[in-house]
Amino acid sequence: MIHNKAGRAKDTSTNNDTPNQPGNSTLPKQKSRDSTPPSSRQSKRRRASESENYDMSKKEKEEGKESIKHDQPGEALAQASESALLGEEINAKQEAPIREKPAVIEERSGLIQFRVVTNDNKPDSLVILTGLKHIFMKQLPKMPREYITRLVMDRHHWSMAIVKRGLQVVGGITYRPFPHREFAEIVFCAISSTEQVKGYGSHLMNHVKDHIKDVSPIKHFLTYADNYAIGYFKKQGFSKEISLPQSVWVGYIKDYEGGTLMQCTMVPRIRYLEVQSFLATQKRLIQARINSFSRSHVVYPGLDVFKNHKDEKRDITSQASKVELIVQPNEVPGLKETGWTPEMDELISRSKRGPHFAAMRHILVELNAHASAWPFVAPVNANDVPDYYTVITNPMDLSTMESKLENNQYNTVDDLVQDAQLVFDNCKLYNPASSPYAKCAVKLEKFLYERLPQWKQAAGLSV
């Protein structure tokens, strides 16, 4: 089920003469999201004008056009892009076919159609709207039935329905356009539970986006999504970040308890029904461009030395089977072409860490974990102890020791122990012997020298 309304509806629309606003006791009370909404009379005139302009724009842009059925989406775009950028560089025989969703295949074969309808009193429109109403009621059980009926049949609302033969509706989206404000509100979105594994939801949303861009100046969608539908809307390009100013939409869209307001801004130059083909074309072009600079796609044959030695190795008495095969890097086909040089092998063979790095790392971990290490974990804050760096001219702490270890500044374990001793000496120099800091230094120093022989022995070092 794909749906975008949760809980009970709370209509914030300021229009008092349209079905968008609850008008009976069976629906929740009106909730305003704006302290200064437009007046009722101005709102009615403005919305009626917007609806009329949407109808006129729709009729003008659909004159001479076919229905919104796309038989081969992206074909022209793919051919133009490839010929313009790479000419015949891409071999058509090697191109993998685009994997199409069942919804696309069914539309092309005529099993389903996408019909845009409104309550214009035409028989087909009323049949489709009634089918949509029943699907919304079934898939959105928390919505009052009267409320769903009122919005679906509202003459200010439009719906795009997925229709099978016999005007059987299997899903759809009901929306309200606000052309002069350049946004539309998605009121309901649902697919029949028996048709939810065919990609109908994504294909339907792509149809709605392309259709609205074709017939109106609308650039944005707003909708309230429940917890189950947030994932679906994110996949369709919706976001919880609302970039539209509140003055554009507050007081115009319906508010829902428990719903999350989401926005989608359409990309003007994109045909959403052709996105899959467009992305596949981009991938092919990028791969072809990479191949023009790189040799990573070239496959070389195996080394003959292993192939020739294979038969000899079967004979356990053969002297050749006891000889270790050595292949020089410059004999490997294609290695030089990648930019390999003998100096690279030397660089890789160099150890990034000293031979005693692990042992010194273990010592620092043990010191940091000791109960008396807390005064020495970080450098002394000069703001807390103003004269500290006047008395202590060579400060040291455990975090500084860690940094020096990571930067390979300790050649031996004794070098690290020397810095640890500096930590203890500085503490006892600055603080009285009776202070808790000096006592911590004594305890940690004792712990270090008691465990040091054991740590060295474990690392294979001389004690």
Q: Cα(304)–Cα(299) distance, rounded to whole angstroms?
A: 15
Q: Cα(253)–Cα(184) distance, rounded to whole angstroms?
A: 9
185 catalytically annotated: yes
Copy the structure tokens of residue 430. 């600055």
Copy the structure tokens of residue 201. 């939801």
Q: Cα(338)–Cα(293) distance, rounded to whole angstroms?
A: 11
Q: Cα(224)–Cα(240) distance, rounded to whole angstroms?
A: 10
Burial 284-308 (b: 16+ CB within 10 A, else e): bbeebeeeeeeeeeeeeeeeeeeee
3-state secondary structure of 164: strand
Q: Cα(347)–Cα(343) distance, rounded to whole angstroms?
A: 6
DSSP 183: E
Copy the structure tokens of residue 264. 């989608």
Q: CA of 275: how far to CAs of 217, 230, 314, 371, in Å?
A: 21, 21, 56, 60
Q: Cα(149)–Cα(163) distance, rounded to whole angstroms?
A: 19
Say if residues 239 and 263 touch (Cβ distance below 8 Å): yes
Burial 178-197 (b: 16+ CB within 10 A, else e): bbebebbbbbbbbbbeebbe
Task: Return the axis-axis angle of helices 200-215 and 102-109, rounded to nearest 10°.
Answer: 60
Q: Cα(346)–Cα(348) distance, rounded to whole angstroms?
A: 5
Q: Cα(202)–Cα(219) distance, rounded to whole angstroms?
A: 18
Q: Tell me which H or E stretch contains 47.
A: helix 40-62
Q: Tell me which H or E stretch contains 308.
A: helix 304-313
**Torsion region of 251: left, alpha or beta (phi above 0 gives left; psi -120 to 50 gives alpha):** left
Q: Cα(96)–Cα(173) distance, rounded to whole angstroms?
A: 33
**Which residues make Cβ contacts (< 8 Å) with residue 224, sequence separation at least 6?**
4, 5, 6, 253, 254, 255, 256, 259, 260, 261, 262
Write down the catalytic residue from 50, 107, 185, 274.
185
Report the catalytic residues: 185
